């Protein structure tokens, strides 16, 4: 992509548009406008979001992971989202349609979205949030051996959380009078997140789905544990697909507690099988609407940002 | 019969931004006019307005505005405000504190809010300008709620989480008097037990100068001569903005909360001229009928009225029309009933006027004074039989009437009573 000429009066207008953003945001925007290099886009987008977030919540953005949610974590409503979009459009000289906005729920969604637009790539599938009831409903693994409380899945990654309650049965013996989450279980939790990715996020041919009954662990490489995790800790898990070729899918995974690194796995490999969609279990959107179901699907899912105004 | 009381006031006006300052300026007849810098151009013959001090709102971006540090307003709220919304927010905060209302008293199904402003011509113009210049999809998503008529109620209802009755009133310079009248009705009908009544105006170039074409604005350059209701030398009104909030409560609420009201609202009335879109009826027929209706509703005879806070804006036709209406209503009692227009001090607040001057009446009833006729040196012969005190009278009025009139010949009269 060749940049349009960037005249001095453009710089003046850009400075005015970004006058309430950090100097680094302005610098990144200038660099983008001069070079059209998409590397500068995340700094501009985060800088614009920061400017619209209430000051006491801005700290969250400082070391934000891409999973930070716009509504729940940053207090951004749909009107503020429009303010963000219009400023980003103005600064990056691009146009965003209403339809494209509806699925932007996390900071990562916004960054990926803008990046795809700039590079002219097709837009990724939106991140799907999966609350605890749904995790159990779609997973072949069940309590008491399920180590995901909630998860979000996109075509590029999956993120999840698990709180160590202290009630886990194995903590009674691991260790004596000193409950510590076993590293093997933490690796299991990452594997479970990879299973969820295969079921909810992995791209498949039309009419085909990955069957939960076909997924099994095959191997892992480069596993290191960095931190002892104990009851009360909230594990933030993330996996990213590295390679996918029937019947193997390889992921990299990591677990953090707050900002502290807990576990790294360079490679986790699962085997999986494809079946016709008709044989597949009930799709997630139908769960909770079925007769006799006790699910709370509609209440628990994260609302997408809607540009609906009570006018 | 239920009874309705005024229990809290908040002021952002040209004569003060708190009750104490406003009261002092009313008593001492000190005006709030200044030569207004944006008017100091050769093609603008109007020079003076009633300025709002301690606030700057001369940017289209609310984050540029300045206001007293005591008011903490988040960007989330500020971004949808017009200047009149900012003034009103501050007046609301004052009125809530003044009435000693708890959060649970404010945000609940039996507390409502009626408001009146003309919207924000200033921001409407700005946002429309952006629409045409930068494109339909790049105009501010909040431009509408910040600028159209109704912006005042939208913002206040959301900011203060009002759950009861709410709406805006649009009868030009009678708007906030109508708001007060209908707020009284809501309490009398048992629909609400408490109502906020808010009047507000931007009071800037775009709000005031359009009246110049009508030749209704004073061209006086001397701030102390510009607004002279009932004076032979008057030459039009002086514009102003700001906001005033009144808290109205039922007798039960007053008793439950143990607060001392400023005054009782005894009743109100309205009537229309059926005459002209902008010119008052020459005999003040609608104004007279509104006063008669109000006195009847309040079960008060003209003989009981001590003071009328007139609508008189210092225009040639309007002041005489109101003088004739007063003559029609008060007849033999005319020489006894003190009449003054506090617009001589504040300027004409347009939609804000009715609420602002009703609040002045509440102060007069609580503190026992009758504001005099500022800047009145030579009474218009047409108004010579009115009792127009030149100085503030330090005597306790018992019953006070407040007149308001707006375009189209809409007239409202409100009756207030001292709380013993």
Which pLDDT value is given to residue A300?
38
Confidence bin at A305 (pLDDT 50/70/90): very low
**Residues 6 or more apart from A45 whose CB is under 8 A from it?**
A88, A110, A111, A114
Among B240, B310, B299, B220, smallest CA distance to B264 is for: B299
**Residues 6 or more apart from B357 whose CB is under 8 A from it?**
B309, B342, B343, B402, B404
**Residue the block writes with tokens 């009537």:** B271
Catalytic residue (choose from B25, B31, B127, B173): B173
**Residue the block writes with tokens 């003088």:** B323
Catalytic residue (choose from B25, B89, B281, B311): B311
Domain-wise residue ranges, chain B: 4-418
Residues of A in contact with B147 (CB under 8 A): none
Rounded Cα distance, B409 and B84, in Å: 25
What's the pLDDT tens digit per position in B323-338? Answer: 999 999 999 999 999 9
Confidence bin at A281 (pLDDT 50/70/90): low
Confidence bin at B389 (pLDDT 50/70/90): very high
Query: Is A243 exposed, middle or buried (CB count within 10 Å of its CB: 0-12, 13-18, 19+)?
Result: exposed
Rounded Cα distance, A254 and A235, in Å: 10
Q: Is there a contact between B60 and B52 (Cβ–Cβ < 8 Å)?
A: no
Which pLDDT value is given to residue B400?
98
CATH code 3.90.1150.10 for B4-418: no
* Residue B134: pLDDT over 90: no
Rounded Cα distance, B397 and B276, in Å: 35
- pTM for the whole thing? 0.80
What's the average model confidence in pLDDT over A79-97?
87
Q: Which residue has the higher pLDDT, A305 or A145?
A: A145
**CA-nearest residue of chain A to B73?**
A54
Taking CA atoms, B324 is separated from A86, B105, B290, B341, B358, in Å, by: 57, 43, 13, 15, 22
Rounded Cα distance, A253 and A268, in Å: 7
What's the average model confidence in pLDDT over B101-126?
97
B325: its two tokens? 């209406």
Look at A311 and B144 and tell me if their CB atoms are within 8 Å.
Answer: yes
Torsion A63-A68-A72-A74 (CA) sign: positive
Q: Which residue has the higher pLDDT, A244 or B372?
A: B372
Among B151, B162, B129, smallest CA distance to B80 is for: B151
Q: What is the mean pLDDT of chain B?
A: 97
Any A CB within 8 A of B153 CB: no
* Residue A298: pLDDT over 50: no
Look at A311 and B75 and tell me if their CB atoms are within 8 Å.
Answer: no
Look at B142 and A83 and tell me if their CB atoms are within 8 Å.
Answer: yes
Taking CA atoms, B193 is separated from A3, B57, B176, B247, in Å, by: 63, 35, 19, 11
Look at A95 and B137 and tell me if their CB atoms are within 8 Å.
Answer: yes
Residue of B137, B144, B148 to mutate for A, most A C-beta atoms under 10 A: B137
What's the average model confidence in pLDDT over B110-137?
94
Three-class SS of B266-295: EEEEEEECCCCCCCCCCCCHHHHHHHHHHH
Instruction: Report CA dihedral (A23, A27, A30, A36) to the nearest 10 degrees.
Output: -140
Confidence bin at A103 (pLDDT 50/70/90): confident
Classified as helix, coil or strand, B148 is: coil
Which pLDDT value is given to residue A301?
43
Q: Write down all domains in chain A, each with its CATH number in brackets.
A: 8-119 (1.10.1200.10), 128-281 (3.10.129.10)
- A73, HSE (Cβ side, Cα atoms, 13 Å): 17
3-state helix, strand, coil in chain B (%, to 5): 40, 20, 40
What's the average model confidence in pLDDT over B245-252?
98
| Percent residues over pLDDT 70 in chain A | 88
* Residue A42: pLDDT over 90: no
A212: its two tokens? 């939960």
What's the pLDDT tens digit per position in A110-156? Answer: 888 888 888 888 777 777 888 888 898 999 999 999 999 999 898 88
What's the pLDDT tens digit per position in B33-91? Answer: 999 999 999 999 999 999 999 999 999 999 999 999 999 999 999 999 999 999 999 99
Rounded Cα distance, A113 and A104, in Å: 8
Among B9, B199, B4, B195, smallest CA distance to B109 is for: B195
Which pLDDT value is given to residue A148?
95
Query: Of A59-63, A270-274, B6-10, B155-159, which range is least confident?
Result: A59-63
Residues within 8 A of B (CB atoms), A 82-121 only: 82-83, 86, 89-90, 95
Q: Is there a contact between A45 and A110 (Cβ–Cβ < 8 Å)?
A: yes
Taking CA atoms, A247 is separated from A148, A214, A276, in Å, by: 24, 10, 15
**Beta strand ranges found along B331-384 (DSSP E):** 338-340
Residue A19: count of CB within 10 angstroms of its CB: 12
Catalytic residue (choose from B139, B348, B373, B383): B348
| CB pairs A-B closer than 8 Å | 22
**Residues 6 or more apart from A7 whose CB is under 8 A from it?**
none
Q: Is B311 a catalytic residue?
A: yes
What's the pLDDT tens digit per position in B137-182? Answer: 888 889 999 999 999 999 999 999 999 999 999 999 999 999 999 9
What's the pLDDT tens digit per position in A177-226? Answer: 999 999 999 999 999 999 999 998 887 787 888 999 999 999 999 999 99
Confidence bin at A38 (pLDDT 50/70/90): confident
Rounded Cα distance, B13 and B31, in Å: 11
Residues within 8 A of A (CB atoms), B 35-74 only: 63, 74
Query: Of A5-9, A117-121, B289-293, which range is least confident?
Result: A117-121
* Residue A13: pLDDT over 70: yes
Q: Is B173 a catalytic residue?
A: yes
Which pLDDT value is given to residue A294?
39
How far does the CA of residue A82 sit from the closest CA of chain B (Å)? 6
Q: Is there a contact between B249 and B187 (Cβ–Cβ < 8 Å)?
A: yes
Query: Of A87-96, A285-294, B113-122, B142-151, which range is least confident?
Result: A285-294
**Residue the block writes with tokens 């629409």:** B131
Which pLDDT value is given to residue B84?
98
* Residue A307: pLDDT over 50: no
Classified as helix, coil or strand, A30 is: helix
**Residues 6 or more apart from A196 whose CB is under 8 A from it?**
A130, A135, A138, A139, A148, A151, A153, A158, A160
* Residue A32: pLDDT over 90: yes
């Amino acid at each position: 992509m060749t940049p349009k000429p960037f005249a001095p009066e453009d710089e003046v207008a850009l400075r005015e548009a970004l006058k309430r953003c950090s100097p680094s945001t302005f610098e990144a925007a200038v660099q983008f406008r001069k070079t059209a290099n998409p590397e500068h886009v995340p700094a501009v987008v985060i800088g614009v979001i920061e400017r619209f977030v209430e000051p006491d919540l801005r700290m969250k953005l400082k070391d934000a992971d891409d999973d930070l949610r716009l509504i729940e974590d940053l207090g951004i409503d749909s009107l503020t989202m429009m303010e963000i979009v219009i400023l980003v459009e103005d600064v990056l000289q691009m146009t965003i349609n209403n339809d494209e906005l509806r699925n932007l729920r996390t900071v990562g969604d916004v960054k990926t979205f803008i990046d795809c637009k700039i590079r002219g790539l097709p837009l990724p599938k939106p991140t799907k949030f999966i609350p605890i009831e749904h995790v159990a409903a779609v997973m072949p693994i069940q309590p008491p051996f399920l180590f995901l409380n909630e998860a979000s899945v996109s075509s590029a990654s999956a993120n999840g959380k698990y709180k160590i309650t202290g009630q886990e049965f194995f903590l009674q013996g691991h260790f004596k009078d000193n409950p510590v989450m076993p590293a093997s279980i933490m690796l299991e939790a990452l594997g479970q997140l990879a299973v969820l990715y295969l079921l909810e996020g992995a791209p498949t041919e039309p009419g085909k789905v990955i069957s939960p009954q076909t997924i099994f662990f095959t191997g892992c490489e480069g596993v290191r544990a960095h931190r002892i995790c104990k009851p009360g800790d909230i594990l933030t898990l993330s996996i990213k697909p590295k390679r996918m070729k029937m019947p193997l899918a390889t992921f990299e995974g990591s677990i953090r507690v707050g900002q502290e690194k807990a576990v790294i796995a360079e490679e986790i490999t699962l085997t999986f099988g494809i079946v016709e969609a008709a044989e597949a279990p009930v799709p997630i959107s139908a769960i909770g609407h079925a007769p006799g179901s006790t699910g709370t699907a509609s209440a628990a899912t994260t609302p997408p940002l809607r540009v609906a105004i009570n006018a | 019969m239920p009874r309705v009381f005024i229990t809290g006031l908040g002021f952002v006006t040209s004569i003060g931004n708190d009750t104490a300052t406003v009261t002092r300026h009313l008593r001492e007849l000190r005006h709030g006019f200044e030569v207004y810098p944006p008017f100091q151009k050769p093609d603008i013959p109007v020079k003076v307005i009633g300025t709002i001090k301690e606030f700057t709102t001369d940017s289209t971006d609310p984050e540029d505005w300045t206001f007293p540090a005591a008011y903490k307003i988040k960007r989330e709220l500020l971004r949808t405000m017009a200047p009149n919304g900012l003034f009103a927010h501050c007046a609301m905060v004052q009125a809530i504190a003044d009435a000693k209302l708890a959060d649970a008293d404010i945000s609940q199904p039996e507390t409502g809010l009626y408001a009146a402003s003309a919207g924000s011509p200033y921001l409407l113009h700005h946002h429309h300008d952006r629409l045409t210049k930068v494109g339909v999809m790049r105009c501010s998503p909040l431009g509408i709620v910040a600028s159209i008529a109704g912006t005042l109620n939208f913002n206040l209802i959301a900011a203060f989480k009002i759950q009861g009755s709410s709406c805006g009133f649009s009868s030009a310079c009678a708007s906030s008097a109508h708001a007060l009248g209908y707020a009284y009705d809501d309490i009398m009908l048992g629909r609400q037990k408490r109502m906020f009544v808010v009047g507000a105006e931007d009071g800037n170039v775009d709000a005031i100068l359009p009246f110049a074409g009508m030749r209704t604005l004073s061209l006086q350059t001397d701030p102390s001569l510009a607004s002279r209701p009932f004076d032979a030398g008057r030459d039009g009104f002086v514009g102003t903005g700001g906001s005033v909030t009144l808290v109205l409560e039922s007798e039960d609420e007053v008793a439950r909360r143990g607060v001392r009201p400023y005054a009782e609202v005894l009743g109100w009335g309205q009537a229309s001229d059926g005459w002209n879109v902008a010119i008052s009826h020459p005999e003040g027929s609608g104004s007279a009928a509104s006063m008669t209706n109000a006195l009847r509703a309040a079960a008060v005879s003209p003989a009981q009225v001590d003071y009328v806070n007139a609508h008189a804006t210092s225009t040639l036709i309007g002041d005489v029309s109101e003088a004739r209406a007063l003559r029609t209503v008060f007849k033999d009692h005319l020489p006894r009933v003190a009449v003054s227009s506090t617009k001589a001090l504040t300027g004409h607040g347009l939609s804000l006027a009715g609420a602002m001057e009703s609040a002045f009446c509440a102060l007069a009833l609580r503190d026992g004074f009758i504001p005099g006729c500022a800047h009145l040196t030579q009474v218009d012969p047409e108004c010579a039989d009115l009792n127009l005190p030149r100085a503030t009278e330090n005597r306790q009025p018992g019953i006070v009437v407040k007149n308001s009139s707006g375009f189209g010949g809409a007239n409202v009269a409100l009756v207030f009573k001292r709380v013993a």
